[in-house]
Structure 1
Amino acid sequence: MIVLMISLMQYALAYELDVNTFSNYLDVQNRHLHLEWLLNMDKKYINSTSSYRFQVVGRSINKITLDIYKLNIYSTYLQNGLSLSHTIDNPYEDSDQGSRLNIQLDKTYYKGQYIELSIKYSIDSKSRSISFMTKEQTSTKTMPYIFSQCEDANCRALAPLQDTPTVKQTYTATVIFKDTEAADVFMSADESKEEFQVLYRPKDQAGFTWKYKYFIQKVPIPSYLIAIVAGNIKKVPTSTGGRTFLVSEPDKTEAYTAELKDMEQFMQAIEQYIGPYTWGTYTLVIQPASFPIGGMENPLLTFANPTIMTGTGSGLDVTIHEMAHSWFGNTITCVNWANMWINEGFTVFLERKASLFHYQIPDEIKLNAIIGNTSMYQDMLGFGLDSNFSSLHPDTTGLNPDDSFSKIPYEKGYQFLAYLESIVGEADFKQMLRAYLVQYKYQSIDQQEFQNFLLRYLYEKQVDDFSTKRYKILENWNKWVYSPGLPPVILDFSTPKLAEAYDYTTAYITADGQQPTKWQNYFTFLHSQKQVFLEDLFKQAQNNLLKINVINQMDKDLKLTEEKDFELKFRWFRAILTAGDKTRFTQISDFLGSVGRGKMVYPVYRALNQLDHDFAVKTFKNHEAFYHPIAKNNIKNILGLKENIIQ
């Protein structure tokens, strides 16, 4: 019992190291960052200065090392103007992790001391964190457009940083821009109270005015949550509550706000389960179609792909998910990318709790878990069931952590938490999560610290049958986290709605090109049932049971090739390509050139590549300029086009 009490009362741990940063963050950590950016959006260039306030956390240091990726570094100097020497090297020359910026300090600094220095650099179109879009690539076609995407370890392409979720810092920024290139600029921070500031109007260039905006983020955040968007965009409220807002191109604002009318209710549904939202306001940015992911939870400024806007509200689970990150991911953060499930598994868990509270449709939640499990298993097969990438603790030493990105931390993480909840009990688990948020607010932790807290909480609260629950929690913990492949415990998400979807697939397959009797049932299905049906169709195609005549009859009845909901459309295209259908290549190429969301384009490219590699490459080349750098890189991997990159 004494040993147990000692283990439960341990509050301080040495967290896991981050293998994806070249910075000496164990010796020195940045406390505040200030960015000054002069945007030249037409020329795809940003002139930059970043200033830092480092604190020594080790015994002593005489240099600072930071992460960079294809930044043009011009000078490094102390706040007093003293120039510092710097070098750049490549610890992994055959990797695309980036480079290490080594800054030699003027003297030795000791634990607790602060170091204030600045770096002059520039960002250009080689950046993989900034997407520079021409005005022709936007909806309104009046101004160029830029947006950032920094998760996982891509913020090193935005500024020299300790690009690790271990380190959290406050930040401020001054952004200078031409009024002819951007109607507005927003960042993942609060805007200054002042209106736009006019700097000057050059006499010889009377066609534009330089303006600037100032931003401040008072809450310490990891570098991957720094974000910017600029272009012909406007900000409008989505409700009368004063907390939720939309940013989009002005021609989309009316339709988007109509679909997002329940954003305040989403927020309240999450708060009902987990507690109050502490970040102030919440703004959702609907990005251009080339945005590479469904959503990105930048604090105060969530980014989302327009595929979530279906006109029916069927894609708004992404909105709830990104809101939920305000608690898990932004408030409590994984200490490194091997612990990504600390961000994503918890967020999926909270998303589904809030969705159940808001929509009151238990079958939808179960089916979404089944769909997520299917996607997770497909990703596991892609990595290999024995690959550590199919575990909740992937090892990305020497690699870009993006290489391990998948649905696994989302869905295996969710299932792990659902399993723990089944042991602890729903009410106690909910209260534990609330206490967990209080204990680790604005900190970064690993899975071991979560385990320690869970056991400590249950012990201190004297929950019923603590010894038995502790045994069950620890019995499979390491298998859940470290073992590759499927979870060690299979959870039951079955529902009659699942059987209906499977029976519907069977009806079409057995009709063998004829119209089945109950073909119209599809139009009464839950949105998740439609996804289950199309996932099952893909499985039938893999088993060579989906024939061209069945595909043609389905498309005639259900108009799936013309589907406007991309969650359904990409699953349809993946299934028919797997079945060997080459008759819809034109529509598939058009689809791949109209959406840049990786979840939707990667599976279609994989299926297309297996069916016709040459056409897949041709399609990619036709649309390459449309894709975000992250998506472009992943598609090249799928098609076997990626070459070694020397930083």
Structure 2
Amino acid sequence: MNKINLVIGMALILFWVGCHQNKNEENSNQEVKMEDIIINDIHTYAKPEEAVVTHLDWEAEIDFEKKKIIGKAALTIKKADDAKYLILDTKGLYIEKVTLDASPDQVTFSLGDQDQWKGAPLTINIKPNTAVVNVYYVTGESAEALQWLDPSQTSGGEQPFLFTQSQAILARSWVPIQDSPGIRFTYTANVKVPAGLIALMSAQNPQEKSEDGLYTFTMTQPIPAYLLALSVGDLTFQPISDRTGVYAEPALIDKAVYEFGELEEMVQAAESLYGPYRWDRYDLLVLPPSFPFGGMENPRLTFATPTILAGDRSLTSLVAHELAHSWSGNLVTNGTWNDFWINEGFTVYFEHRIMEKLYGKDYSEMLASLAMQGLEEEVSRMITEGNGIDTKLKLNLEGRSPDDGVTTIAYDKGYFFLRQIEETVGRDVFDSFLQKYFADNAFKVMTTERFITYLNENLIRKNDLDPIDETCRQWIYEEGLPQEKPTPVSGRFDSVSQVLDHWVKNGNLEITEGGSAETAKWSTHEWLHFLRNLPKDMTADQMKSLDDNFHFAESGNAEILAAWFEHVIRHQYEANYARLEDFLIHTGRRKFLMPLYTEMAKSVDGKERAINIYKKARPNYHFVSTNSIDALLNWEES
């Protein structure tokens, strides 16, 4: 692996926040020093050692009829004395003009060649005294971060909807910006939307609709571009506590408020573990089903999929995950996308600790056991397919999309690596280390190599512990999983294992109509353990027995549905094909889509069925999902 080269010498950036912000006491010292900037991010054209964005003032009009954003990005910059250019990332943007500071005169700019993943560099001529660069632009028809939904694709069915998904490098498709996780900036925004709709951003948000459709936003904490977020729709808000609440379409708000009723307790649990919440408010926005992820940790406003509205709070570990990002990811950020595990491994570890604190060790160990099952399957699959290099924590994404690194590896291999350290040095010692880690590196970037150095200095040597260099090497730089790894144990899975054993030995479950008293007590996680561990080969009668007794296809729980539908596809259980198709058409979460389309694509008939379903479903999916499924099915627009 190549080491990250850090800019040294010139004190280019004294602080990120800038004097034009109204900052509270807690956030007034967010100074980012030169050594905290990563410049060899292979996924950006920016050259921050020459000129770097520190603040964005954004003005935008949202045009639903033409499905475009008309915007002005006023970019405050810090620069070297001899800097002649500011280089921004763009993708599919139409640049109308560029001016400097308060002058109306246009300046010269150029758009470079378009790269498949990186888009095109926007190079702007600047002057020795330039402080602000103003870019006037319009988003393109295929802006990959934006999903424009017709009223029929929403719960209300009367108003259109727009949401963004900027991670990993899609912010450049709706704002001309330096789109690297190693570059932080603050921002303000003035956004005009049609009357009757509300606009929300990853910033200080309104809680009621504006009569004139004008909304103003402020984000005083510095963030990287991938955490820029916007949503516009017919939404309503209900508080849960003084600093937490939920936005959702009116038809879903009551269900969402119940599902996330323990939000404040989660925030308090997180704070008790690793220090104060640094982002003022923590609100959730429930998006329409086409949202491609379970959640997105946009500061102050987590975007969440409606697939976690199970009605029994059984899937709220996803909320714990997105909340944990307020420390790992949003506060301490991976320097480049090759270091993605720095965001996600820490977040999964933190998520499990929150769930343990709220619901007990046995509950969190169920989550860990499921994580290990999924991780082992993913590692085996990737190695079998000749993609073992991507089972390393430290990635090499040169010439590739950062989305290629969004696998179980970053999340769960990262988690088990940190858990291995915890089990080696002891939880109390590791907790003290993590508290210091988040405090010392708040609003800074972290690379794999920098973490190893920090780990050795602040955990190993500080506590006079035995070196763990070999542990780090095996987990970070080797393919697959080390032989020595944590083994989650959940007593609550014992009864599930007994039922499964009975199935394997006797070929039936010996259950009564509607399920036994034992299975009636099972949580979502126990059912997932059951479904994932059913035999790979089952008869039609066995499938019908499961279907008749447990009615999986009628479940309102998307996790259970997705796990069951894998068996439906594998065993050609036609009785549930219609429900499978309905699920694929109305669910846009990539986590569910990819395994199901992949399973269908394994046979000629299955692939034909997949393509026929995809024709109907594709308009409901975000680019993040279609980009993956297009490649899987060799899709070409007709």
Match of 2:436 in 1: 435
1:464-484 C-alpha deviation (Å, 9 max, x unpaired): xx252xx2x212212211212
Whether 2:201 is the aligned partner of 1:187: answer yes
In the aligned structure 2, how far is the partner of 1:517 from the partner of 1:141?
41
Is the 2:52–2:78 Cα contact (8 Å) retained in structure 1?
yes
DSSP 3-state at the match of 1:561: helix
Whether 2:623 is the aligned partner of 1:629: answer yes
Q: What letter matches 2:595 in structure 1?
A: P
Match of 1:369 in 2: 368
In the aligned structure 2, how far is the partner of 1:488 from the partner of 1:21?
37
Q: How far did 1:252 drift?
A: 1.3
1:148-185 C-alpha deviation (Å, 9 max, x unpaired): 111111111121111110000001110012204x1x11
Is the 2:248–2:286 Cα contact (8 Å) retained in structure 1?
yes
Match of 2:46 in 1: 23
In the aligned structure 1, how far is the partner of 2:145 from the partner of 2:344?
21
Match of 2:563 among 550, 571, 574: 571
Aligned length: 597
Is the 2:314–2:523 Cα contact (8 Å) retained in structure 1?
no
Identify if the C-alpha distance between structure 1 residues 487 and 30 changes in structure 2 by more than 3 Å, giving closer, same or farther: farther
Match of 2:532 among 530, 535, 556: 535
Q: What letter matches 1:55 in structure 2?
A: K
Please, what TM-score do these two structures have when normalized by structure 2? 0.89
DSSP 3-state at the match of 1:384: helix
Identify if the C-alpha distance between structure 1 residues 14 and 89 changes in structure 2 by more than 3 Å, giving closer, same or farther: closer
Q: How far did 1:499 drift?
A: 4.3
Q: What letter matches 1:212 in structure 2?
A: L
Match of 1:620 in 2: 614
Q: How far did 1:509 drift?
A: 4.4
Match of 2:166 among 147, 150, 156: 150
Q: How far did 1:517 drift?
A: 7.8
Identify if the C-alpha distance between structure 1 residues 374 and 314 changes in structure 2 by more than 3 Å, giving closer, same or farther: same
Q: What letter matches 2:251 in structure 1?
A: D
Q: What letter matches 2:521 in structure 1?
A: T
In the aligned structure 1, how far is the partner of 2:327 from the partner of 2:363?
23
In structure 2, runs of 5+ residues without a counterpart are 1-33
Whether 2:600 is the aligned partner of 1:608: answer yes
DSSP 3-state at the match of 2:193: strand
In the aligned structure 2, how far is the partner of 1:291 from the partner of 1:460?
45
Moved more, 11-20 or 370-379: 11-20
Q: How far did 1:486 drift?
A: 1.9
Match of 2:190 in 1: 174
Moved more, 578-587 or 26-35: 578-587
Q: What letter matches 1:214 in structure 2?
A: T
Match of 1:344 in 2: 344
Q: How far did 1:275 drift?
A: 1.5
Q: How far did 1:525 drift?
A: 2.2
Match of 1:402 in 2: 403
Is the 1:376–1:406 Cα contact (8 Å) retained in structure 2?
no
Match of 1:497 in 2: 492
Match of 1:4 in 2: none
Match of 1:39 among 62, 65, 85: 62
Match of 1:161 in 2: 177
Q: How far did 1:262 drift?
A: 1.1
DSSP 3-state at the match of 2:352: helix
Q: What letter matches 2:503 in structure 1?
A: Y
Q: What letter matches 1:97 in structure 2?
A: K
Moved more, 288-297 or 115-124: 115-124
Q: What letter matches 1:479 in structure 2?
A: Q
Whether 2:95 is the aligned partner of 1:73: answer yes
Whether 2:299 is the aligned partner of 1:278: answer no
Alignment of 1:319-468 (within 5 A): 319-360=319-360, 362-384=361-383, 387-458=388-459, 461=462, 463=463, 466-468=464-466
In the aligned structure 2, how far is the partner of 1:286 from the partner of 1:196?
17
Is the 1:16–1:446 Cα contact (8 Å) retained in structure 2?
no
Match of 1:206 in 2: none
Q: What letter matches 1:65 in structure 2?
A: I
Q: Could you say which structure has the greater relative contact order, defined with CA pairs below 8 angstroms and 6 or more residues apart?
A: 1
In the aligned structure 2, how far is the partner of 1:410 from the partner of 1:582?
34
Match of 1:204 in 2: none
Identify if the C-alpha distance between structure 1 residues 192 and 625 changes in structure 2 by more than 3 Å, giving closer, same or farther: closer
Is the 1:333–1:443 Cα contact (8 Å) retained in structure 2?
yes
Identify if the C-alpha distance between structure 1 residues 16 and 576 changes in structure 2 by more than 3 Å, giving closer, same or farther: farther
Q: What letter matches 1:28 in structure 2?
A: A
Q: How far did 1:16 drift?
A: 7.5
DSSP 3-state at the match of 1:83: coil
RMSD between superposed Cα atoms in Å: 2.3
Match of 2:124 among 88, 103, 128: 103
1:499-538 C-alpha deviation (Å, 9 max, x unpaired): 432332343344446745895232222322211111112x
DSSP 3-state at the match of 2:552: coil
In the aligned structure 1, how far is the partner of 2:492 from the partner of 2:267?
28
Alignment of 1:185-224 (within 5 A): 185-191=199-205, 210-224=212-226
Q: How far did 1:13 drift?
A: 7.9
Q: What letter matches 1:477 in structure 2?
A: C
DSSP 3-state at the match of 1:451: helix
Tell me the percent identity.
26
Q: How far did 1:44 drift?
A: 1.3
